[in-house]
């Protein structure tokens, strides 16, 4: 059992190293340097202070590369290597994993075995940690799981192999194909009815911007499903179920597209979107911040995503509209006394949510002033402004 477990740890960590080198080339050093520094900090800093050191050094390292990308794009006007983009994106995911472990150590949810001999320490401590950080199934796309959950999954595979994942992987591949089919139809429609500010109506502009945002979101949904397929194919993400029930492969997931898109409140959408990252930010910032926790959480999200102008405008607007959503819902909820009122409120609330999320997605994904210009030309920017105005009125 111990030998099989070690082989699994070696398999996922070696696979991660190979994947990093093949996809990122020399930029894979970003990941290896972060992993090495994290190991040194875990061994040399007390559990009480390890998180502060890990968080500070890792975010400084990640931010320096984000600023390098901005320097190349906006100052030198040079094309940025796709390998560098991949490495920085993977570093962002690695930041999630190592800070998750450092918080576990600080809060004593994970007790690292430093008392054992040096020979055994390599197998019992360093190998599982390296496997968790450089796991090839989550290296490029997530989702985030805790260190304890990862160890439990590997233990489960070693003790009793999960059922054949072919069925669930095939189903998720079909979901990806369906999502991409919808996306390609949407792109075809957008090209056919391209928005022209001087010639198109306001409604046409709003629908085109909304379609563009849906297209961008579907890319994320497909990416998440592909990541789930990779994890499931490797045997990860399976939870033992009661006898007679179907196998549960939902242990590693970033969210259900249908549940996300049918959210009728901005705050509900925020909780459901990229659930593992949302939970990580809640634990890292929201629960630890005593002053303006919501604003600080979304502000940190802008920092973590890359410090572009669009990131600050998008995430801070999202924070304000989430706060407004709580106020608006609390104000109107007692007045929804009949079924038709509740239905009407839900419909308007869903449209409002879709328009606000469209604004956030467009600004964040475009990153620069072009996203703000599009919202101005289509008048979509009025939706978050109206919600923020209601926040102060109510």
**C-alpha closest to that of 171 among 221, 229, 222:** 229
Dist. CA 184–CA 218, nearest whole Å: 10
Structure tokens at 163: 């059922």
pLDDT at residue 241, as a whole number: 56
Note the pLDDT tens digit of each residue in 207-233. Answer: 999 999 999 999 999 999 999 998 888
**Do 180 and 222 touch, CB atoms closer than 8 A?**
yes
Quote the longest CA-to-CA distance of the chain: 75
Residue 123 has pLDDT above 70, yes or no: no
**Do 210 and 355 touch, CB atoms closer than 8 A?**
yes
Residue 317 has pLDDT above 70, yes or no: yes
Known catalytic membership, residue 305 = yes
First to last CA, the chain: 61
Dist. CA 38–CA 43, nearest whole Å: 9
pLDDT at residue 122, as a whole number: 58
Note the pLDDT tens digit of each residue in 330-377. Answer: 988 888 888 899 999 999 999 999 999 999 999 999 998 999 998 888
pLDDT at residue 121, as a whole number: 58
Helices and strands: H and E segment counts in the chain:
17, 0
**Do 302 and 317 touch, CB atoms closer than 8 A?**
no
Dist. CA 391–CA 34, nearest whole Å: 42
The mean predicted confidence, pLDDT, of the chain is 89
Given 274, 311, 352, 387, the catalytic residue: 274
Structure tokens at 262: 């049918």
Vertex 41: Cα angle to 60 and 102 (nearest 5): 80
Average pLDDT over residues 132-147: 90
Note the pLDDT tens digit of each residue in 274-315. Answer: 999 999 999 999 999 989 999 999 999 999 999 999 999 999
Q: For residue 355, what is the DSSP state?
A: H
Dist. CA 373–CA 229, nearest whole Å: 38
**Do 58 and 117 touch, CB atoms closer than 8 A?**
no
pLDDT at residue 251, as a whole number: 73
**Do 73 and 80 touch, CB atoms closer than 8 A?**
yes
pLDDT at residue 246, as a whole number: 63
Q: For residue 239, what is the DSSP state?
A: B
Q: Give this prediction's pTM.
A: 0.91
Which residue did the predictor score with more confidence, 240 or 62?
A: 62
Cα dihedral value 263, 266, 268, 273, nearest 10: 80
Share of the chain above pLDDT 90, in %: 63
Question: b/e for 233-265, b at 16 or more Cβ within 10 A?
Answer: bbbbbbeeeeeeeeeebebbbbbebeebbebbb
**263 Cβ contact partners less than 8 Å away, ≥ 6 residues apart:** 269, 272, 350, 353
Which residue did the predictor score with more confidence, 107 or 245?
A: 107
**Do 273 and 259 touch, CB atoms closer than 8 A?**
no
Dist. CA 147–CA 283, nearest whole Å: 15
Note the pLDDT tens digit of each residue in 339-351. Answer: 899 999 999 999 9
Dist. CA 27–CA 21, nearest whole Å: 8
pLDDT at residue 245, as a whole number: 57
**235 Cβ contact partners less than 8 Å away, ≥ 6 residues apart:** 153, 157, 161, 162, 165
């Amino acid at each position: 059992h111990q030998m099989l477990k070690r082989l699994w740890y070696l398999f996922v960590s070696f696979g991660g190293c190979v994947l990093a080198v093949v996809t990122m080339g020399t930029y894979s050093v970003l990941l290896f340097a972060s992993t090495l520094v994290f190991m040194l900090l875990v061994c040399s800093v007390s559990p009480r202070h390890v998180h502060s050191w890990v968080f500070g050094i890792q975010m400084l390292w990640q931010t320096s590369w984000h600023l390098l990308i901005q320097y190349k794009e906006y100052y030198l006007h040079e094309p940025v290597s796709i390998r560098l983009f991949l490495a920085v994106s993977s570093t962002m995911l690695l930041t999630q994993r190592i800070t998750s472990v450092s918080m576990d150590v600080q809060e004593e949810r994970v007790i690292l075995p430093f008392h054992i001999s040096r020979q055994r320490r390599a197998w019992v401590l360093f190998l599982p940690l390296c496997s968790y950080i450089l796991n090839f199934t989550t290296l490029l796309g997530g989702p985030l799981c805790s260190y304890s959950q990862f160890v439990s999954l590997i233990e489960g595979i070693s003790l009793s192999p999960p059922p054949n994942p072919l069925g669930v992987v095939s189903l998720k591949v079909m979901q990806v194909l369906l999502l991409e089919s919808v996306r390609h139809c949407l792109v075809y429609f957008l090209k056919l009815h391209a928005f022209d500010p001087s010639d198109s109506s306001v409604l046409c502009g709003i629908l085109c911007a909304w379609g563009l945002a849906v297209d961008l979101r579907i890319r994320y949904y497909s990416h998440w499903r592909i990541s789930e397929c990779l994890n499931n194919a490797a045997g990860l993400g399976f939870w033992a179920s009661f006898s007679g029930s179907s196998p549960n492969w939902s242990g590693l997931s970033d969210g259900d597209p249908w549940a996300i898109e049918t959210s009728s409140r901005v705050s509900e959408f925020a909780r459901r979107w990229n659930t593992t990252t949302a939970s990580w930010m809640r634990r890292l910032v929201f629960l630890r911040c005593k002053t303006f926790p919501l604003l600080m959480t979304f502000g940190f999200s802008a920092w973590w995503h890359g410090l572009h102008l669009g990131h600050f405008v998008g995430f801070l607007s999202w924070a304000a509209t989430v706060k407004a959503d709580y106020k608006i819902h609390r104000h109107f909820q007692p007045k929804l006394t009949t079924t038709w009122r509740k239905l009407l409120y839900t419909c308007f609330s869903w449209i409002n949510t879709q328009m606000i999320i469209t604004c956030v997605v467009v600004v964040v994904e475009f990153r620069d002033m072009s996203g703000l210009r599009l919202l101005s030309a289509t008048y979509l920017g009025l939706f978050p402004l109206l919600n923020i105005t209601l926040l102060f009125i109510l």
